[in-house]
């Protein structure tokens, strides 16, 4: 009596197995997530939070400290979000504090603001602001060290006395001097602060850098005294930081205007060359011809490949069915059954040849299903043993005299 192996239960693949199969994609996703997190951290570290010199920005680049000091001294600080609001506040007599960090305010907007305002304080003016508000005043780069003493008649500058390092210089040429623009805090041949009257009639104070107003540097030297003196001379300040909404879309250059003149001819030439090259190569190879090529694949490779697929997908019943189908075909040939014989005829023939019960033979060849890998191996071996038993029964009797035509025993 031979011992039979206990059938293994079919189980669903565990989480660890599923993760192991997908470890490549999991690693790619983790790398992408790590890169995105690193990018967010770097952007948060490099990019200053909040708008520069915003009255409600407590970051080092903001100006919340100055706004709170002005409010404590009774000055109403109003943050305006558009050019129209700034012009309305200017017509009401408010001091306009202007810092166009993005450079979106055009010259017409600057002229209209200067025409409505009595006093404009500009922090770090750009080329457009200098051209409109103070013709003849030019940017002169970063000052080398701290600028000198005030040396001017501007009251806020006189009370400040001196400024800290990090100032940007503004040069005053002859035309600006003729228009009575004067400089304070000299830095070589230029100045850290320039004041005068704009062509539109507004009093203008140009501060080359943002250091006198920023939270990080307002407490250095006389920065605070200068900023408070300039913005606290009136009861109200219109704090205006132009944004993208103040840009005039009609003045924005088109794509054709931004492209150099040689771009269009080169693009046309590239298109023509691509089409010509395609036609040339197509004519060279001629028309397409469909040809069936013989492919020889060894049967052993096909069988091994299909077996690996069955094993990977745990398709035990399908694998056993392939073995049964092949065995039934060979059994039909061994039993001399016609090609049209069905499975029941093969089962009956095998039962007659081996003396086994037809129900057992049918269960082995058709009905019984494997419940695990061990059960699959057991059934495959049983099918092989059945096929071997049929072949043995079909061999001639060794005691039979094959030379006697009647087939009688000696």
Rounded to an integer, the average pLDDT of 225-237 is 94
H-helix or E-strand containing 141?
strand 137-142
Reported as a single tens digit per residue, the pLDDT across 15-60 is: 677 677 777 878 888 888 888 888 777 655 555 567 899 999 999 9
Cα angle value 235/167/206 (rounded, 5°) = 40
| Domain-located, residue 281 | no
Rounded to 10 deg, the angle between the 343-354 and 373-393 helix axes is 70
Of 246, 271, 302, which marks where a domain is finished? 246
Residue 275 has pLDDT above 80, yes or no: yes
| Contacts with 305 (C-beta within 8 Å, 6 or more apart), sequence order | none
Residue 331 and residue 214 share a domain:
no
| Domain-located, residue 218 | yes
| Domain-located, residue 119 | yes
Residue 185 and residue 330 share a domain:
no
Residue 401 has pLDDT above 70, yes or no: no
Which residue would you say has higher pLDDT here, 250 or 308? 308
| Contacts with 338 (C-beta within 8 Å, 6 or more apart), sequence order | none
Sign of CA dihedral 249, 237, 119, 146: negative
Lowest mean pLDDT among 66-70, 174-178, 367-371: 367-371
Q: What are phi and psi of 260, to 5 degrees?
A: -65, 160
- pLDDT at 5 (0 to 100): 44
Q: What confidence tier does 262 reach under pLDDT thresholds 50, 70, 90?
A: confident
Residue 107 and residue 240 share a domain:
yes
Q: Among all chains, which residue has been given the structure tokens 């065995």?
A: 327
| Domain-located, residue 137 | yes
- pLDDT at 259 (0 to 100): 73
Residue 317 and residue 231 share a domain:
no
| Domain-located, residue 367 | yes
Residue 241 and residue 99 share a domain:
yes
CB burial of 258-267 (b: ≥16 within 10 Å; e: otherwise) equals eeeeeeeeee
Give long-range contacts, CB 8 A cutoff, 24+ apart: 322-325: 323/380, 323/383, 324/365, 324/366, 324/383
- pLDDT at 122 (0 to 100): 96
Strands of 227-316, DSSP E: 236-240
Which residue would you say has higher pLDDT here, 316 or 41? 316
Lowest mean pLDDT among 36-45, 261-270, 314-323: 36-45
| Domain-located, residue 287 | no
Reported as a single tens digit per residue, the pLDDT across 160-217 is: 999 999 899 999 999 999 999 999 999 989 999 999 999 999 999 999 999 999 999 9
Q: How far is it, in rounded angstroms, from Cα 7 to Cα 368?
A: 13
Reported as a single tens digit per residue, the pLDDT across 85-134 is: 999 999 999 999 999 988 888 899 999 999 999 999 999 999 999 999 99
Which residue would you say has higher pLDDT here, 99 or 356? 99
Residue 327 and residue 201 share a domain:
no
Residue 355 and residue 223 share a domain:
no
Highest mean pLDDT out of 154-158, 285-289, 315-319 = 154-158
Q: How far is CA 380 from CA 111, 324, 385, in A?
A: 95, 8, 9
Q: Among all chains, which residue has been given the structure tokens 């019943």?
A: 317
| Domain-located, residue 25 | no
Rounded to an integer, the average pLDDT of 250-272 is 76
Count of H helices and E strands in the chain?
16, 9
Residue 241 and residue 96 share a domain:
yes
Residue 241 and residue 337 share a domain:
no
- pLDDT at 55 (0 to 100): 92
Residue 320 and residue 206 share a domain:
no
| Domain-located, residue 224 | yes
Counted domains in the chain: 2
Which two three-digit tokens encode residue 246?
């103040």
- pLDDT at 198 (0 to 100): 95
> By residue range, what is the domain housing residue 206?
64-246
Lowest mean pLDDT among 248-252, 282-286, 354-358: 248-252
Residue 220 and residue 135 share a domain:
yes
Burial status of residue 5 (CB atoms within 10 A of its CB: 0-12, 13-18, 19 or more): exposed
Q: How far is CA 87 from CA 81, 118, 238, 241, in A?
A: 11, 11, 9, 13
Residue 288, helix vs strand vs coil: coil
Of 246, 270, 301, which marks where a domain is finished? 246
On average, the pLDDT of the chain sits at 84
Residue 317 and residue 180 share a domain:
no
- pLDDT at 117 (0 to 100): 94
């Amino acid at each position: 009596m031979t011992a039979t192996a206990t059938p293994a239960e079919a189980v669903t693949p565990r989480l660890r197995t599923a993760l192991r199969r997908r470890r490549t994609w999991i690693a790619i996703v983790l790398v992408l997530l790590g890169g995105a997190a690193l990018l967010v951290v770097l952007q948060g570290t490099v990019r200053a939070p909040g708008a520069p010199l915003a009255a409600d920005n407590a970051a080092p680049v903001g100006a919340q400290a100055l706004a709170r000091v002005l409010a404590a001294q009774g000055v109403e600080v109003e943050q305006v979000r558009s050019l129209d609001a700034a012009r309305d506040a200017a017509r009401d007599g408010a001091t306009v504090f202007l810092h166009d960090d993005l450079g979106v305010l055009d010259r017409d907007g600057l002229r209209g603001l200067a025409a409505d305002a009595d006093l404009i304080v500009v922090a770090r003016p750009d080329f457009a602001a200098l051209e409109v508000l103070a013709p003849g005043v030019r940017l002169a780069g970063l000052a080398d060290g701290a600028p000198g003493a005030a040396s001017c008649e501007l009251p806020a500058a006189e009370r400040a006395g001196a400024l800290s390092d990090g100032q940007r210089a503004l040069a005053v040429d002859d035309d600006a001097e003729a228009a009575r623009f004067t400089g304070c805090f000299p830095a070589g041949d230029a100045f850290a602060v320039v004041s005068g009257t704009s062509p539109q009639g507004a009093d203008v104070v140009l501060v080359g850098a943002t250091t006198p107003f920023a939270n990080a540097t307002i407490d250095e030297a006389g920065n605070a005294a200068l900023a408070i003196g300039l913005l606290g001379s009136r009861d109200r300040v219109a704090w205006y930081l132009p944004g993208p909404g103040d840009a005039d879309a009609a003045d924005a250059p088109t794509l054709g205007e931004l492209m150099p003149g040689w771009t269009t001819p080169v693009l046309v030439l590239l298109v023509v060359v691509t089409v010509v090259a395609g036609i040339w190569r197509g004519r060279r190879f001629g028309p397409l011809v469909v040809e069936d090529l013989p492919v020889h694949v060894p049967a052993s490779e096909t069988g091994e490949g299909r077996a690996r697929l069955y094993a990977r997908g745990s398709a035990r019943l399908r694998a056993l069915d392939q073995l049964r189908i092949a065995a039934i075909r060979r059994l039909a040939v061994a039993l001399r059954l016609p090609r049209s014989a069905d499975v029941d005829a093969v089962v009956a023939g095998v039962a007659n040849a081996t003396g086994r019960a037809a129900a057992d033979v049918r269960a082995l060849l058709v009905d019984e299903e494997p419940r695990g890998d061990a059960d699959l191996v057991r059934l495959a071996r049983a099918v092989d043993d059945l096929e071997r038993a049929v072949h043995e029964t079909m061999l001639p009797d060794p005691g039979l005299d094959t030379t006697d035509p009647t087939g009688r025993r000696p």
